[in-house]
A and B are shown apart, each in its own frame.
Chain A
Amino acid sequence: MGDFDVGVIVRALPLLWEGMQITLLLTALGIVGGIVLGVLLAMMRRSSLLPVRWFAAFYVDLLRSLPLVLLIFWFYFLVPLAVGRPVGGLPSAVIGFILFEGAYFCEIIRSGIEGVRRGQVMAGLASGLTQAQCMRFIVLPQAFRAMLPVMLMQSINVFKSTSLVYVIGLRDFLTAADLIGGRDNRLTEMYVFVAIVFFVICWTASQAVGLLQRRIAS
């Protein structure tokens, strides 16, 4: 690897940054949309109506059993068909990510809520709070503390898995690096650089989450 050329990377930086913006956009939309959908699904899974509960459980289990790549292909194909005209890769990818991550966030939120001890709710009810007040003042604050680190870890996972949009040729960070590397015949430099960037961001973020987790625990 004597001819590793850093100059190639430096010259590619503007294009790589464009790719990184797509990656960050996908990550942000995937996390926000995924959490909103996850909250909705978690509420549905705790609904008193059996069909609603059943539907949410089926949705979550189904989505969690499929590879994300397959889902990306699904929506790459379905979204234009549903809209009736070509829409490009980004909207399809965003929809695919939100629907996929929603299932995972739902499980995190649900286990956070179910992790709160029954006695807490009973004590709340006994002291005269309504069911809704119990949820708002007792269950949710405790559940939130428990699930925050897991949700942050999942957000890091979303960031990493956005690289899968490579399969539909959407120009994210990895795909941009791949295109430049292919053009200049410098795949080694490009892939190594991509790996280092992802590692630095994900490692720093997960260390921070670990720190937060220990603070919450103590």
Chain B
Amino acid sequence: MRYNWNWSVLLADPYLGWILSGLGWTILVSAASWIIGLILGSVIGTMRTLPSRTARLVGAVYVEIFRNVPLLVQIFLFYFVLPEVLPREIGRWLKRDLPHPEFTMAVISLGLYTACRVAEQVRAGIVTAGKGQANAGLATGLTTAQVYRLILLPLAYRLTIPALTNEFLNVFKNSALALTIGVLELTARTRAVADYTSHAIEAFTAASLIYATISFSISGLMRIVERRARLPGTLAGGAR
């Protein structure tokens, strides 16, 4: 196995710029998808615990659909198929006038997928928080909406910090799939560096180190947050 090592190529112009801009897009895609995933996931997870049968059914159908189709297929459906099946005017607008179509569709698709996973965590958190809490809230005269907003959801979030951190790390990794529809994020950019310079090992090592460093930093940071936010009176592991 002969290989010409040259690590300095990573710092050369324009390759360093490519990697950094790729990292920027990776962070942007992950953050934007996470916001969608967290908000929508909380709504769906809540729906799955409501007394209304319809709400529970809608929540369950959403989760099952998004969970059982590969993410890559979902991204293709949003990017290639959605403009074709929508009414002609909207489809044309999506294809021609949508700003940054690859980025937007990647974020929407990743966000909706993440929502189905967040929903399961939020639902588990609400169930763990317990019926007793909800009944106590209702007995003191709170409405159902208030019980969720003031009691169940805050408890659920605190109980599921480790699981939600995990989901965030998943979005961060899944954001690499955006390259399939042309978003020039970190993995796409390192591949380009590998192709242009034929120093693939150096390029992929750099990308791996960047992904690993960010993942480790986030999980380290969230362990501190988790300790701070731990509910008094529960087992050390949080939701158990």
Residue ranges of A at the interface with B (Cβ–Cβ < 8 Å)? 1, 61-62, 64-70, 73-74, 77-78, 81-82, 84, 160-161, 163-164, 166-167, 174, 178, 187-188, 191-192, 194-195, 198-199, 202-203, 206
Which A residues are in CB contact (< 8 Å) with B128?
A: none
Are B208 and A70 closer than 8 Å at their CB atoms?
Answer: yes
B157 at the interface (CB under 8 A from A): no
* Interface residues in chain B, defined as those with a beta carbon under 8 Å from any beta carbon in chain A: 1, 3, 64-65, 67-74, 76-77, 80-81, 84-85, 169, 173-177, 179-180, 187, 190-191, 194, 200-201, 204, 207-208, 211-212, 215-216
B177→A70 contact, CB < 8 A = no
Give me 19 other A-B pairs in contact (C-beta within 8 A), A67-B177, A188-B85 excluded.
A62-B208, A65-B169, A65-B216, A70-B211, A73-B204, A74-B208, A78-B201, A84-B1, A161-B70, A163-B70, A164-B70, A167-B180, A187-B76, A188-B80, A191-B81, A195-B77, A199-B65, A199-B69, A206-B68
Q: Say what secondary structure dominates the interface of chain A.
A: helix
Asked, given contacts A198-B73, A206-B68, whether A66 binds B211 with beta carbons under 8 Å apart, the answer is yes
Contact A192 B65 (CB under 8 A): no
Query: Separation in Å of the A104 CB from the closest CB of chain B?
Result: 12
Once the chains bind, are B177 and A164 in contact (CB under 8 Å)? Answer: yes
Q: Is the CB of B169 within 8 A of A192?
A: no
Question: Contacts A73-B191, A84-B1, A164-B177 given: A1-B84 contact, CB under 8 Å?
Answer: yes
Check B191–A160 contact: CB distance below 8 A: no
A70 to B80, CA, bound (A): 24
A77 interface neighbour in B169, B174, B176, B204, Cβ under 8 Å: B204
Q: Which 6 A-B pairs have the closest CB atoms?
A: A65-B215, A67-B176, A202-B68, A160-B70, A67-B173, A1-B85
Residues on A with C-beta less than 8 A from B64 are 203
Contact of A66 among B3, B71, B173, B177 (CB under 8 A): B173
Beta-carbon contact of B77 and A166 below 8 Å: no
User: Could you jot down 7 A-B contacts, CB within 8 Å?
Assistant: A70-B208, A73-B187, A73-B191, A164-B72, A191-B73, A198-B68, A203-B68
Instruction: Give A189's nearest chain B residue, CB to CB.
Output: B81
Query: CB-CB < 8 A to B200: which residues of A?
Result: 77
Complex CA distance for A73 and B225, rounded to whole angstroms: 34
Number of A-B contacts (CB under 8 A): 104
The smallest beta-carbon distance between A204 and chain B, in angstroms, is 9
Write out the residue numbers on chain B whose beta carbons fall within 8 Å of the beta carbon of A206: 67-68
Q: Which residue of A lies closest to B204 (CB)?
A: A74
User: Which of A61, A70, A192 has the most chain B CB within a 10 Å cutoff?
Assistant: A70
User: What residues on A are CB-neighbors of B73 within 8 Å?
Assistant: 163, 174, 191, 194-195, 198
Which residue of B77, B84, B179, B211 contacts A167 across the interface (Cβ within 8 Å)? B179
Is B70 a contact of A174 with CB atoms below 8 Å?
yes
- Complex: A69 Cα to B200 Cα, angstroms: 15
**Which residues of chain B are near A74, meaning CB under 8 Å?**
204, 208
What's the nearest-Cβ distance from chain B to residue A185, in Å? 11
Q: Which of B70, B71, B81 is within 8 Å of A192, CB to CB?
A: B81
Q: What's the Cα separation between A68 and B81 when bound, in Å?
A: 25
On whether A66 and B208 interact (CB within 8 A), knowing A160-B70, A194-B73, the answer reads yes
Contacts of A202 in B (CB 8 A): 67-69
Cβ of B39 to closest chain A Cβ, rounded Å: 24
Once the chains are docked, how many angstroms separate the CA of A174 from the CA of B71? 12
Contact call A188/B70, Cβ cutoff below 8 A? no
C-alpha gap A187/B200 in the complex (Å): 33
Minimum Cβ distance to chain B for residue A33 (Å): 20
Closest residue of B by beta carbon distance from A156 = B68
Q: Which of A68, A69, A167 has the most CB of B within 10 A?
A: A69
Chain A residues, CB < 8 A from B81: 187-188, 191-192
Tell me which of B69, B77, B176 contacts A70 (CB under 8 A): B176
Instruction: Determine the distance from Cα of A1 to Cα of B187 in the docked complex, in whole angstroms.
Output: 35
Kindly state the separation between the CA atoms of A163 and B72 in the bound complex, as whole angstroms: 7
Contact pick for A81, options B3, B67, B207, CB 8 Å = B3
Partner of B212, one of A66, A82, A174: A66
Contact of B176 among A62, A69, A174, A192 (CB under 8 A): A69
